[in-house]
Amino acid sequence: MPNILELVSPAALTFAAREVPEPVENTLAKILPNREIDGIKTKAVRGTRKRFKAQYRSYNAEAPIGQRGGSMTVTEIKLPALSEKLPIDEETIHLLSQGASDAQVAAIRDQIFDDVDNLTVSNRNRVEETRGQFLSTAKVTINENGFTDEADFGLPVSHKATAPTLWGAAGATPLTNEKAWAKIVRQDALARPTLATTSEAVLDVLAKSEQYRVAFWQRDGAFSPTLSLEQVNQVRAANGLPPLNIYDGEVPNAAGTGSQRVLAENLFILTTDTVGETQWGTTAEALELVNSNAVDFSAKDAPGLTVVQYRTPDPVAVWTKVSSVVMPVAGDINGLFVGTVLA
Handedness of CA 197, 134, 324, 303 (dihedral sign): positive
Q: Are 84 and 256 in contact (CB under 8 A)?
A: no
DSSP helix/strand/coil, 215: helix
* pLDDT recorded at residue 49: 67
pLDDT digit string (tens) for 46-90? 766 677 788 888 899 999 888 876 666 778 999 999 999 999 988
- Nearest CA-CA partner of 136 in 158, 157, 160, 164: 160
Specify the pLDDT at position 67: 80
- How many residues in total does the chain contain? 343
| Residue at 248: amino acid letter | D
Q: In angstroms, rounded to a whole number, what is the distance separating the alpha carbons of residues 35 and 326?
A: 10
Report CA 180 to chain centroid distance, whole Å: 26
* b/e map 122-153, b = 16+ CB within 10 Å: bbbbbbbbbbbbbbbebbbebeeeeeeeebeb
Model pLDDT for residues 302-317, shown as the tens digit of each residue:
999 999 999 999 888 9
Residues 89-98: tens digit of each pLDDT: 888 888 887 8
Looking at residue 2, its pLDDT comes to 65
Contact call for residues 238 and 214 (beta carbons, < 8 A): no
Confidence (pLDDT) at 48: 67
> For position 42, what pLDDT does the model report?
95
Q: What is the DSSP string of 154-196?
A: ---GGGEEE-SS-TTSTT--HHHHHHHHHHHHHHHHSS---EE
What's the CA gap between 137 and 67, in Å, rounded? 32
Instruction: Determine what percent of the chain is predicted with pLDDT higher than 90.
Output: 78
Q: What is the pLDDT of residue 97?
A: 78
Q: What is the pLDDT of residue 221?
A: 58
Contact 236, 225 (CB under 8 A): no
Question: Cα 42 to chain center, whole Å?
Answer: 16
**Long-range Cβ contact pairs of 162-165 (< 8 A, separation 24 or more):** 162/339, 162/340, 162/341, 163/339, 163/340, 163/341
Residues of the chain with pLDDT under 70: 1-2, 47-49, 69-72, 220-223, 294
The pLDDT of residue 323: 98
- Return the percentage of the chain with pLDDT > 70, whole number: 96
Cβ atoms within 10 Å, residue 105: 16
Q: In whole angstroms, what separates CA 285 from the centre of its chain?
A: 23
* pLDDT attached to residue 69: 64
pLDDT, position 314: 87
Residues 147, 20: Cα–Cα separation, whole Å? 27
